[in-house]
Amino acid sequence: MALELDDDEDMKFSAGASSYKENEADGSHLLPPREREFREFLVDSKAAEEIVRLLVGLAETQGELPENPVANWRAMYDAERDAFKGKENLLGPLHGPTLVTGRREENIPALLDENDALREREAKLSAELHEAVSQIHANEAAAAQVVLDAWMYGGAFVFTGPDAGLDVGKLYAAVSTTLSAKFPAPPDGPAEWAAEGAAPPKGSASIEGLQAWAHDVFAYGSPALPGGADLLTLGKCVTGECEIDVEIAKGLCLACVALSQYIVPGSELYEEPPPPDPKGKKK
């Protein structure tokens, strides 16, 4: 099977340096100067003819075409380059594969094998990492559930509105009381541990919302809170039993403020009725 090139555009590449001239219409080159010079070099050095020979040889291959023509050409080159051994003058400063790659000789099959081995190892390590992180999250969720259950079902933070759940405003108030006792606010400003510009959360949170909050705010891989504040410390702070510094206090405050993103929609609008006036009681 012979390779037919009938189209003039297909032959332009092998037509020689004369085919790359200025466009007479606008005075510009058809190709950038560097690319034009390189193509002229390929033509003048007969390299273009060799490339065409390889393509024609591939087209006229008897039987089935090679599955990977690039690998086939590489094998041909590897077999023929031995002829240049001891004849470096024919290549000038380029020896062996540097003639076509511009780099030192590489053992391509060995590199491919190494790449496959590295990919396999990367996949194995990724799977092990995923399993380890999943186990960490499972352990964290189990530990967090103990704290959340104490808040949700202990009775101290029951939401009295129409939505059953935990009253995050009461929880914040309990934490704020502990922090205020440990780090009193200066007369001329807010407490150092308070989140600047953050409003106290209000509303009801379900157990599912609390679980999502605990995972997003405290779980492994989440952005670290100031002082490395964690849920267990917050649980102790609610009862006034924690020993913390100002940085941890800032982290606990931010964690409580973040609860506002997990409340039941609409529950933040509920206003708890004030307690009855003792003076209005009947004797």
Please report the pLDDT score of residue 90 as a whole number. 56
DSSP characters for 13-35?
A: GGS-GGG--B-TTTS-BSS-HHH
> What is residue 17's predicted lDDT score, i.e. its pLDDT?
44
Q: ∠ CA(139), CA(145), CA(150), 5° rounding?
A: 145
Cα separation values, 219 from 128, 216, 251, Å = 19, 6, 14
Question: What's the pLDDT band for 12 if we cut at 50, 70, 90?
Answer: very low
Contact present, 49 and 83 (Cβ < 8 Å): no
Q: What does the pLDDT average to over 94-99? A: 46
- Residue found under tokens 């206090």: 249
Provide the pLDDT for residue 22.
46
Q: Write phi, then psi, for 251 (nearest 5 degrees).
A: -65, -40
Half-sphere exposure of 105 (CA within 13 A, CB side): 10
Place of tokens 């089935």: 64
In the chain, the N- to C-terminal Cα span, in Å, equals 116
pTM, whole model, 2 decimals?
0.58
Handedness of CA 92, 95, 101, 104 (dihedral sign): negative
Q: 43-88, pLDDT tens digit by residue?
A: 888 888 888 887 887 777 777 777 887 777 777 776 666 666 656 5
The pLDDT confidence band at residue 115, using thresholds 50, 70 and 90, is very high
- Which residue, chain included where needed, has tokens 């193509």? 39
> How far is 174 from 183, CA to CA, in rounded Å?
14
Taking the C-alpha atoms of residue 228 and residue 252, their distance in angstroms, rounded to an integer, is 9
Angle formed at CA 211 by CA 238 and CA 130, multiple of 5 degrees: 125
Q: Which pLDDT value is given to residue 222?
A: 92
Token pair belonging to 61:
């291959």
